[in-house]
A and B are shown apart, each in its own frame.
Chain A
Amino acid sequence: DVKVTQSSRYLVKRTGEKVFLECVQDMDHENMFWYRQDPGLGLRLIYFSYDVKMKEKGDIPEGYSVSREKKERFSLILESASTNQTSMYLCASTTGVLGNTIYFGEGSWLTVV
């Protein structure tokens, strides 16, 4: 089975801190994604990566950056956390073939105080 692992399930950070959310997939998938999920707003794409060192902005990239130095790992970085970034963050991956299933991690709950 495909496994997408988000290393941190629950985090509490202070405003202004730098935050790293890590995601690892074990199926050699080309594409990886970071979403945030908020009540009433659904899932919104923050960033997407289609290959090592390659990235594209999603719908809400402001305040975030990403890093993909290895194919299996995709990191989301909050350079200076703010309270409006309190949310559930979901990582996902899929192969380079458009028709294939997209797999999600368990999610990371981030609270910024």
Chain B
Amino acid sequence: KQEVTQIPAALSVPEGENLVLNCSFTDSAIYNLQWFRQDPGKGLTSLLLIQSSQREQTSGRLNASLDKSSGRSTLYIAASQPGDSATYLCAVRGGGGANNLFFGTGTRLTVIP
């Protein structure tokens, strides 16, 4: 069964720093990978979706990369801001049914003003 790991579980950085969040998965036969943001007590907000045939996706200050063969994805956040403080989760979709979706447990990011 696919296992998705996000390390570290928590990260604190000063405002303005560039940072990288990591996501690794055990089975490289994925359909796509999605990054989410979750604010405390709220649902998940989709940030970026990378198809298995793509290497990266960008949205504003966010850039997500995918290396399927090594089972890794990174989410790069440029010029971090206190408003970026949240938990970031990645999820990989396998090629089976629509319910074949596996989540990491997230990295809790704190950006210190």
Contacts and interface: CB of A to CB of B under 8 A. Distances in A.
A102 B36 CA distance: 10
B46 interface: yes
B31 A99 contact: yes
Given A40-B105, A43-B103, A98 B43 contact: no
A43 B97 CA distance: 18
Contacts of A74: none
Interface band, chain B: 20 to 34
A107 B42 contact: yes
B41 A109 contact: yes
A90 B34 CA distance: 17
B14 interface: no
Given A98-B93, A99-B32, A48 B43 contact: no
A48 B49 CA distance: 21
A22 to B, nearest CB: 15
Contacts of A30: 98
Contacts of A4: 43
A33 B99 contact: yes
Contact of B42 (A40, A56, A103, A106): A106
A90 B113 CA distance: 31
A100 B41 CA distance: 25
A42 B49 CA distance: 20
Interface in A38-79: 40-43, 45, 48, 50, 56, 58
B34 A102 contact: yes
A94 B91 CA distance: 14
Given A4-B43, A31-B99, A102-B91, 10 more contacts: A33-B99, A41-B105, A90-B43, A98-B31, A99-B51, A101-B34, A102-B101, A104-B45, A105-B43, A109-B41
Interface of A: 4, 6, 30-31, 33, 40-43, 45, 48, 50, 56, 58, 88, 90, 92, 94, 96, 98-107, 109
Interface of B: 31-32, 34, 36, 41-46, 49, 51, 89, 91, 93, 95, 97-99, 101, 103-106
